[in-house]
Amino acid sequence: MSDQPIAADDKPMAMALQAGKEYYWCACGKSGGQPFCDGSHRDTSITPLPFKAKGGEAHICMCRKTNNPPYCDGSHAQ
């Protein structure tokens, strides 16, 4: 059982999000439907992060090192 998130990629994913829609960011990094939760965290103590999108293009963290989840804060480059 791993409780450490893994990187799904070493750069953020740019994508258009629907304003007001609730999404579940994959916090564990194991989802097959990145960057969103698909239930693959079930063998960890990690749970997805629900968030409401503001709309427009967002850069979603894929390295799981961000201090501003689910959004990229540049931590992947450090």
The interface with ligand FES within residues 39-58 (CB under 6 A) comprises 39-41, 46, 48
CA distance to 20, 32, 38, per residue, from 67 (Å):
22, 23, 22
Residue 30 found at the interface with ligand FES (CB under 6 A): yes
Beta bridge partners of 17: 56
Residue 37 is encoded by which pair of tokens?
């939760």
Looking at 12, 23, 26, 35, which residue binds ligand FES (CB under 6 A)?
Answer: 26
In angstroms, give the least distance from the CB of 55 to ligand FES.
23
> Cα(51)–Cα(53) distance, rounded to whole angstroms?
6
Binding positions for ligand FES, rule: CB under 6 A = 26-28, 30-31, 37-41, 46, 48
